[in-house]
Amino acid sequence: MAEWDYRVFWEEALKQLREEFKEAGNEQEFVLWFGADYLGSAEREIAVGVPSAFYRDQLNSRGYTSRLKSKLAELSGQNLRIRFEIRKKNASPAAANETPVSSESRAALFGKSAHPAGHSGEAAPPKNRHPQLREDYTFETFVTGDNCSFAYNAALAISRNPGKAYNPVLFYGGVGLGKTHLTQAVGNALFQAGVGKIIYVPAENFANDFINSLQAKKAQEFKNKYRNADALLLDDVHFLQKKMATQEELFYAFNALSQAFKQMVFTCDRPISELKGMNERLTSRFSSGLSVDLLPPDYETRKAILQKKLEIAHKDIPPDVLDLIAQNVSTNVRDLEAAMAKIVAYAELTETAVTPETAQQQLRDIFCSPKGGAVSVEAIQKAVADHYNISFSDIKGKSHRKKIAEPRHVALYIASKLTEYSTTELGAEFGNRDHTTVMYSVAKIEKLITVDSVLDAAVQALMREIKDREK
């Protein structure tokens, strides 16, 4: 097989492409998408390993596979095929006739060094699971769609180049949209890559650790634990609102990790700018990095999520029932999983085939219950539209005419008061508007009702009417 060993051409191609990307100011793009590992060769063919089918498809759709082939042809004088093989984490060792992954190829994956920080020169054996991370929260089990592709790609990038690609990173959005999954996927990838001390902790536990350290007079142990981490993954930072002493300690830990180029990932249920009772210096630190929002999944993504969950669980439900769930549960992934689990359990316990009619009956509480309490966003939109004598579609439309825009501002204000939706989720409900647009609308009405008694009375009357209707 040595006759067909094209490894030298592969590695030179990566080296030259990296320089080209670097000169164009896109080196991070190279780090993100050119991490395929050389596995072996056959006549006019190179086999390379990629982490997922999604990764392979992105190489093709972005034109990077063609660019690799062109560079290989330029260097070898032959038109070489590239065959992709999906190589999951902890995959079985390469077959005897495959060429081992070289340190140079690994360097293309992680950046300048052939190994991430904390690695030895030898390839690390497969590791046991990280005690703080869920084993099933990986990039392979995360289903991407338009609602979260940016967040997924950002997470993938920092897992391949920790502390350098984007730091810190903040994922924000409503409950059950994948923030924790992506954060732990980063942690699992870093753990399997051999990055040293990875700490994943919910913000509530961080606060409790801090309080306990003070009570036990072990403050220095607490500082050493968090300030000397190689990666800190902190979930639900909104929990720290008004906890000023804990925020102060996080601020110092943040500075220590930032100066040492250690990766930090945070999650929050809303943009940092919306949090109340936060240390301004800490807010500034959060805002200095990359903030990415996750939106509720669209129909196609919801269906793909359900199919993936069934595949992992080795379960099956009829396609028309799967479609029914995807069409009717549009809030978040947790609600999708709950609906699916109930149908699977019903089928197993009753030992009967599930029909769409049966599913509709069993899931009526999930299909009919509005998110965020007794009041639904749709009810608010309809009530406001009726009051201002405009159509329901106008409320969610794009028109900026005063006759339409002002009722829309009112509807957004009322929705922010009567539901538990974040501004990101409200934006999605009002025609996929940006969260900053929602914030502007709410702030505008809040200001107007303090000086316009007629508007204030109308808004209060609408809120009472909406709550009365929903009782």
Question: How confident is the model over 150-184, as pLDDT tens digits?
Answer: 999 999 999 988 988 789 999 998 778 899 999 99
Least confident of 62-66, 111-115, 134-138: 111-115
Average the pLDDT over 93-109 and give the result.
35
Asked if residue 100 has pLDDT above 50, the reply is no
Least confident of 113-122, 125-134, 146-155, 439-448: 113-122
Share of the chain above pLDDT 90, in %: 30
C-beta of residue 466 within 8 angstroms of C-beta of residue 379: yes
Give the pLDDT confidence score for residue 106 in this predicted structure.
34
CB atoms within 10 A of CB 284: 12
453-470 and 435-448 are packed helices; what angle lies between their axes, rounded to 10 degrees?
120
Least confident of 44-58, 114-128, 175-189: 114-128
More confident position, 39 or 3: 39
Helix (H, G, I), strand (E, B) or coil at 107: helix
Domains of the chain, each with CATH number or no CATH: 2-109 (3.30.300.180), 149-293 (3.40.50.300), 299-368 (1.10.8.60), 377-470 (1.10.1750.10)
CB atoms within 10 A of CB 273: 14
pTM of the complete model beyond 0.75: no
Average the pLDDT over 203-211 and give the result.
93
Question: How confident is the model over 416-429, as pLDDT tens digits?
Answer: 888 878 888 888 88
Question: How confident is the model over 298-318, as pLDDT tens digits?
Answer: 888 889 889 888 888 888 889
Give the pLDDT confidence score for residue 180 in this predicted structure.
94
Question: How confident is the model over 244-269, as pLDDT tens digits?
Answer: 999 999 999 999 999 999 999 999 98
Distances (CA, A) of 278 to 245, 273, 288, 292, 443: 11, 9, 15, 20, 19
Cα angle, residue 350 at apex, residues 345 and 354 outer, rounded to 5°? 70
Residue 232 neighbours by CB under 8 Å, 6+ apart: 199, 201, 226, 253, 257, 262, 263, 264, 265
Asked if residue 2 has pLDDT above 70, the reply is no
The sheet with strand 198-202 has its strands ordered as 198-202, 231-235, 263-268, 169-172, 290-293
Least confident of 126-130, 162-166, 269-273: 126-130
What mean pLDDT value characterizes the chain? 83
More confident position, 285 or 53: 285
Give the pLDDT confidence score for residue 82 in this predicted structure.
93
Q: Where are the alpha helices (DSSP H) in 87-140?
A: 103-110
Q: Helices then strands (H, E): number in the chain?
A: 22, 8
Place 372 in a pLDDT band, splitting at 50, 70 and 90.
very low
